[in-house]
Amino acid sequence: MADVLTLPHWLRTIGAQPHGAHRRALRDEAGDVTFAELVDAADAVAVGLRAAGLRPGERVVTAMEPSVPHVAVILGAMAAGMVAAPLNTRLTAPEARAYLTPLRPAVVVADPAHADLARDTGHRVVELPAATEHLPIAARLAPLHTVGTPPPRPAEAAPAIVFGTGGTTGTPKGAFHTHRSLWLWLDTCVRGNPRTPEDVELCFSPFFHITLGTNLLAPLLAGGEVWIQRKFDAGAALAAVDGGATRLMGAPTMFTAMRAHPGFAAAARDRVTAIRFGSAPAGGDFVRDLLSDYPNAKIRAGFGATELGSVMGFDHDDLAAGRFTGVGRPLPGATVRVLGPDGRETAPGEVGDLVVACPWQARGYYGLPRDTEETFRPDGVHIGDLAARAADGWVTIVGRRKDMITTGGENVYPREVEDVVLRHPRVADALAFGLPDDHWGERVEIAVVPVPGATVRLAELREFCRTSLAGYKVPKGLRLLDAIPLTANNKPDRRRVRDDALREADPAAVRRP
């Protein structure tokens, strides 16, 4: 049968099976749906979009909080042959307009929380006024929910969904997947981090990030259940764990916040069977805490990118053996190379440009052919990460090329500084960055979150670093923070920390693009 590798088709298959039709697929704060109900809701959205005059291939932007209706709109758009495009709702209206310009949306579907942002984009808006109400799914999707004959199945090669990049160096770009590449990516997630229909996945990530794929769509592909929370809250996450959630995924800062919550000790953490963390470097103490805090969980760490999905990772056994640094090994099907300036593979341990190719990678940046050509090259995807590879194939990311600090003519990679600082017993989190310096060109600075009740001083930290870092890599300045700020994609916001430091030194020095 042609064009079967589409997510809507696969979910329809699950929903039609006797053991799958009545099994719960999704739950949020306002209600839940079975697989059969989810498929019916997505089909009704597809019919509603077509009735509203939209055509296959047009972009359907969603400006909504994470919710069951939001999932139904995304799946409905794809089922109708349109392109779903979850919008980063943390963007300002000018930022959203800039991001959406190359996408040329046909409509923006919004819930009440983000209706104003949707209208400010200047595009046609369909508001779902009851999206967050405790009502049946048809009412929550009104006026988009329309009963009728579902449209024909989309082609595997047709664009299916767009994810925005982090936009840390300017306007985000929309990396798009076809139905086939999306299906292959989700299938890789299911196999690489094994899931079953008995799993209950807790999802507290935003839908505009690729964790929508790894944390929500992949569990659905496996026939599992997903509990959706509108945003991360440590207490709510622990309540879900106590209520039966068995799988967790998030950034290290989220697990640290859960551990510090007063309800942590009482939560039934022994029910958790799997944990996946990523997005930021994590020290050995963090991993050791996870291993002891969730004794029955298989813990995995992963590395991916908006342009690639998941491509590398390391398993529970690696962590249990004390291998905490780096991003692990390539997943089956992913070709990972580290290239030097001459375009050849570097020797083991030597830093170079990370280049990745895999069958499930995004197909380019929607509406941006020049940017697509620059990043999606014949030899693989060049995402700007600098990496080194050990003789056994273990990969370590040392930083982004744009984040590299050049001090006194020497290159310093922020990650190598952070890895050392994180080993200090009184440091809970750290982020390295460069600042302009009249003598060195740039100097290495470090932002640190001390462990609760502790004090960290620059002289002591510098002395600690000297045993592991060359002199020019040792931080020359220290900023103490309550928490490392995160981007919308839950990654450390190096740009914000650097801008804050610049602003303190010289308010006129900060020039955002």
Tens place of pLDDT for every residue, the chain, 513 residues? 467 889 999 999 998 887 777 899 999 999 999 999 999 999 999 999 999 999 999 999 999 999 999 999 999 999 999 999 999 998 889 989 999 999 999 999 999 999 999 999 999 999 999 999 999 999 999 999 999 999 898 999 999 999 998 765 568 899 999 999 999 999 999 988 888 899 999 999 899 989 999 999 999 999 999 999 999 999 999 999 999 999 999 888 789 899 999 999 999 999 999 999 875 555 667 888 999 999 999 999 888 889 999 999 988 888 888 887 788 999 999 999 999 999 999 999 999 999 999 999 999 999 999 999 999 999 999 988 889 999 999 998 887 788 888 888 777 888 889 989 999 999 999 999 999 888 888 899 999 999 999 999 999 999 999 998 888 899 999 999 999 988 766 678 888 899 899 888 765 444 433
Domain assignment present for residue 306? The answer is no
Distances (CA, A) of 227 to 215, 242, 248, 270, 462: 10, 13, 10, 18, 45
Contacts of 17 (CB under 8 A, 6+ apart): none
97-to-91, 103, 115, 166 alpha-carbon distances in Å: 9, 10, 14, 16
Domain final position from 197, 231, 265: 231
Under 8 Å CB-to-CB from 295, ≥6 apart: which residues?
A: 269, 270
Say if 277 falls within a structural domain.
no
- Report in angstroms the alpha-carbon separations of 431 from 166, 241, 285, 383: 17, 30, 17, 21
In whole angstroms, give the CA distance from residue 7 to residue 13. Answer: 10
Prediction pTM value: 0.85
Angle 398-402-407 from CA coordinates, rounded to 5°: 75
- Nearest C-alpha neighbor of 110 from the set 81, 84, 131, 82: 131
Q: For residues 181 and 7, is the Cβ–Cβ distance under 8 A?
A: no
Is residue 502 in some structural domain? yes
Among candidate residues 319, 207, 332, 322, the one with its CA nearest the CA of residue 274: 319
Q: How far is the C-alpha of 334 from the C-alpha of 192, rounded, in Å?
A: 12
Helix (H) or strand (E) holding 314: strand 309-314
The backbone region for 367, taken as left when phi is positive above 0, alpha when psi lies in -120 to 50, beta otherwise, is left
- The answer as to whether 260 is a domain residue is no
Tokens of 167: 């936009």
Return d(Cα 4, Cα 155) in angstroms, integer. 8
Q: What pLDDT, on a 0 to 100 scale, did the predictor assign at position 283? A: 60
As a whole number of angstroms, the distance between CA 111 and CA 66 comes to 10
- pLDDT for 371 equals 95
Residue 502, C-beta contacts closer than 8 angstroms, at least 6 positions apart: 435, 436, 509, 510
- Return the H-helix or E-strand segment holding 177: strand 174-178
Strand, coil or helix: what is 151? coil
Put the strands of the sheet holding 477-480 in their side by side order: 427-437, 441-450, 477-480
User: Of 173, 198, 231, at which residue does a domain stop?
Assistant: 231
378: which strand partners? Answer: none
Among 231, 251, 274, the domain boundary falls at 231
Task: Look at residue 264 and tell me if it is in a domain.
Answer: no
| Cα–Cα distance, 280 to 379 (Å, whole number) | 27
In which order are the strands placed within the sheet that holds 125-127? 125-127, 107-110, 59-63, 83-86, 159-164, 174-178
* Per-residue pLDDT at 489: 63
Domain range for 211: 1-231
Alpha carbons 301 and 283: distance in angstroms, whole number = 12
How much is the pLDDT for 506? 62
Sorted by sequence, the CB contacts under 8 Å of residue 247 that are 6+ apart come out as 195, 199, 200, 201, 202, 219, 272, 273, 274, 275, 276
Characterize the bridge pairing of strands 274-277 and 247-250: parallel
Q: Which residues of 55-88 are buried (b: 16+ CB within 10 A; e: fewer)?
A: eeebbbbbbbbbbbbbbbbbbbbbbbbbbbbbbb
- Domains contained in the chain, number: 2
As a whole number of angstroms, the distance between CA 275 and CA 261 comes to: 18
Burial of residue 158 (CB within 10 Å: 0-12, 13-18, 19+) is middle
Q: Tell me the C-alpha distance between 445 and 434, whole Å.
A: 6
DSSP class of 4? -
Q: What CATH code is carried by the domain that includes residue 86?
A: 3.40.50.980
Classify residue 491 as exposed, middle or buried by CB count within 10 Å of its CB (0-12, 13-18, 19+).
middle
SS3 content of the chain, % helix, strand, coil (to 5): 35, 25, 40
The answer to whether residue 87 sits within a structural domain is yes
Q: Judge whether 296 lies within some domain.
A: no
Q: What does DSSP say about strands 247-250 and 225-228: parallel, antiparallel, or unpaired?
A: unpaired
Q: How far is CA 465 from the centre of its chain?
A: 31
Determine, yes or no, domain membership for 101: yes
Q: DSSP label at 30?
A: T
What's the confidence (pLDDT) of residue 409?
76
Distance between CA 291 and CA 299 in Å, rounded? 7
The torsion angle over the Cα atoms of residues 303, 309, 311 and 315, rounded to 10 degrees, is 50
